[in-house]
Amino acid sequence: MALLDRIDGPDDVRSLPPEALPRLAGEIREFLIESVSRTGGHLGPNLGVVELTIALHRVFASPRDTIVFDTGHQSYVHKLLTGRRDFGRLRQRGGLSGYPSRGESEHDVVENSHASTSLSWADGIAKARRLAGERDRHTVAVIGDGALTGGMAWEALNNIAAEKDLPLVIVVNDNERSYAPTTGGLADYLATLRTTQGYEAFLTWGKNALSRTPVIGNAVYGAAHGMKKGLKDMVAPQGMFEDLGLKYLGPIDGHDTAAVEATLRRARDFGRPVLVHVLTKKGKGYDLARRDEADQFHAVDKINPETGLPLQVKGRIWTDEFSDALMRVAADRDDLVAITAAMLIPVGLREFAERHPDRVFDVGIAEQHAVTMAAGLAYGGLHPVVCVYATFLNRAFDQLLMDCALHRAGVTFVLDRAGVTGTDGASHNGMWDMTLTGMVPGLHLCAPRDAEALGRALAEAVDVPDAPTVIRFSKQNPPAPLPAVRRSGSVDVLAEPGEGDVDLLLVGLGELATTAVSVAEKLTAQGRSVRVVDPHWCLPVSADLVDLARSAGAVAVLEDNLVVGGVGSQVALALHEARVEVPVHLHGIPKRFLDHGSRGEVLEEIGLTPDAVADALDARLR
């Protein structure tokens, strides 16, 4: 019987003899490669934390002790060790989440899969337990070196370091990567720690010498401890952490379970904040992942585990179309620069970076810094293009509002993975951006309906010198080209029975323009006259769209965004202010967090399919 099959919880992990742990680690890696290749998911990060997670569950008694995983995409091993072995529907409707989930297990705490938050969570949990008198309960935060580039992590460190009696352990899982290699001063600092392990090696040599030759061993070991900080700073300069007030242990080989376990026990028993620096290798145990220098199989679709190749060819996605459009614009604009927050490849900047390496800035997981830096670049005469996932713009709203918009900075924001993304779950759906950006004075927003509209929007956006512009698109393949039958001012008319009055003006935003055309066909078959339009620039609401509404009996807006405060609400307000008294029907994402599932499943559940929208509108138009 496989060892893994006998693991139903952390007690079973702790009961294993140390000599069985390498076998367990091997079985876990085999399981992950086999299962994740069938479902897709975060493979590389989990292969890298196998021994570390085993050691965590042998030293700390979850759930009485709390383990907080930063970002959470590396929690698959944790799921296995807490009794969740059914990975057959990982990230699918009704199956396991790709991140920690309180609904799945009492061992999971933080469901938010946004980075750099674990230290703040752990600080709060540990302080709450101290106030409750529960000093025998420990709190552990596991944070990667990539997430440690985020400013929020350093705000937490500043506060944690001031605590002298807080039983809190910070594990820095240092694999030199986030999606891709970690960049910045912190990366350089950790690299220095990685390559100067002389102090611990000196102590180890002294201990070994002590067992063989007591006189020499005692002299060496005593001298090492007697020199203390001077020697330690000379051969392992971890002074930054210890000068903050954090006890530093490491660096430790994160694939040596015994060494990690012993170090974690020391940290647990220390009684105040301790930082344990663990060195791991992303993709460990899977040669194909290790050979991939780009992202080491950070996240994969369904793949052939023997070759690492995808089982289905996805074709060109929106990100590819943006990459090509950016290259075309950049060829004529020397002032164009790009900014990414540790996601250069996922947001389509690889080719731009190869062609224009001095015009790309990777700031690490620091969206706030990225946006305010963009305002500074604009002030300096450049036009920055800030490329982030739509869900991560939430983290930089204040900077967008107060640094870019207030100062009339010409900055273009390109939001990848907008709308319903599906399998990554609640925290990754890009369903908030149009509501948030709709509050920003002067901002221009475009949700292109196809690849041609994306290229046109980008070329127009970088010509705006005095306001932020936003272009958003999904993670899917772009729909087939949807040409306009005519233009009415700035508005593209996609379908209509003829010029003149209609029963319904149907406004389709982004990919839902295609849905809107299908809805119109269904309503037309039921005797309705429908005009379908794409405003191209959704915000501000154009006077041309308002004029078209004057000749309609009703208006409906379809958007892949939160229906509350979305573009539909802005259209309704614009019509009210223009005294166009027609009913406005809003169709978008409801104000709740969405469970993980495929995009199609989620859209069907929330009623954003052609049949569901057509039925709802037919009932309202009666």
pLDDT number for residue 294: 64
pLDDT along the chain (622 residues), means of 10: 92 96 96 93 92 97 96 92 94 91 93 87 96 94 90 93 92 79 70 61 50 50 45 51 85 94 95 93 86 74 82 86 97 96 93 96 94 98 97 96 98 96 84 96 98 97 98 93 96 94 97 97 96 97 97 97 96 97 96 90 94 95 83
Q: Which CATH number fits domain 486-620: 3.40.50.300, 3.40.50.920, 3.90.1150.10, 3.40.50.150?
A: 3.40.50.920
CATH 3.40.50.920 occupies which residues in the chain?
486-620
The answer to whether 114 is annotated as binding is yes
The answer to whether 556 is annotated as binding is no
C-alpha–C-alpha distance, residues 394 and 392, integer Å:
5
What fold, for 4-197+236-291? Answer: Rossmann fold (3.40.50)
End-to-end CA distance of the chain: 65
DSSP letter at 216 equals H
What fold, for 318-472? Answer: Rossmann fold (3.40.50)
User: Using an 8 Å Cβ cutoff, are 394 and 436 in contact?
Assistant: yes
User: Which residue, among 335, 369, 340, has the nearest Cα to 353 in the 3D structure?
Assistant: 340
With H, G, I as helix, E, B as strand and everything else as coil, classify residue 553.
strand
pLDDT number for residue 306: 82
Angle at the Cα of 371 from the Cα atoms of 366 and 376, rounded to 5 degrees: 120
DSSP H helices, 394-542, are 397-398, 433-437, 451-461, 512-525
CATH 3.40.50.970 occupies which residues in the chain?
4-197+236-291, 318-472
Q: Please, which residues have CB within 8 angstroms of residue 117's CB and are 6 or more apart in sequence?
A: 70, 110, 152
C-alpha–C-alpha distance, residues 295 and 215, integer Å:
50
DSSP H helices, 495-551, are 512-525, 543-550
Backbone angles phi, psi at 238, to 5 degrees: -90, 25
The answer to whether 428 is annotated as binding is no
User: Which residue, among 489, 132, 144, 155, has the nearest Cα to 298 in the 3D structure?
Assistant: 144
The answer to whether 153 is annotated as binding is no
C-alpha–C-alpha distance, residues 431 and 499, integer Å:
34
User: Using an 8 Å Cβ cutoff, are 352 and 338 in contact?
Assistant: yes
pLDDT number for residue 198: 46
What are the counts of helices (DSSP H) followed by strands (DSSP E) for the chain?
Answer: 26, 18
With H, G, I as helix, E, B as strand and everything else as coil, classify residue 5.
helix
User: Which residue, among 54, 432, 70, 113, has the nearest Cα to 261 in the 3D structure?
Assistant: 54
Active-site residues, by number, are: 282, 367, 395
DSSP letter at 444 equals E
Farthest CA pair distance, the chain: 102
pLDDT number for residue 238: 54
C-alpha–C-alpha distance, residues 148 and 180, integer Å:
14
| Residue 195: Cβ-neighbour burial (10 angstroms; 0-12, 13-18, 19+) | exposed
User: Which residue, among 215, 194, 336, 199, has the nearest Cα to 278 in the 3D structure?
Assistant: 194
User: Using an 8 Å Cβ cutoff, are 384 and 441 in contact?
Assistant: no
User: Using an 8 Å Cβ cutoff, are 509 and 516 in contact?
Assistant: no
The answer to whether 146 is annotated as binding is yes
DSSP letter at 405 equals I
User: Using an 8 Å Cβ cutoff, are 614 and 517 in contact?
Assistant: no
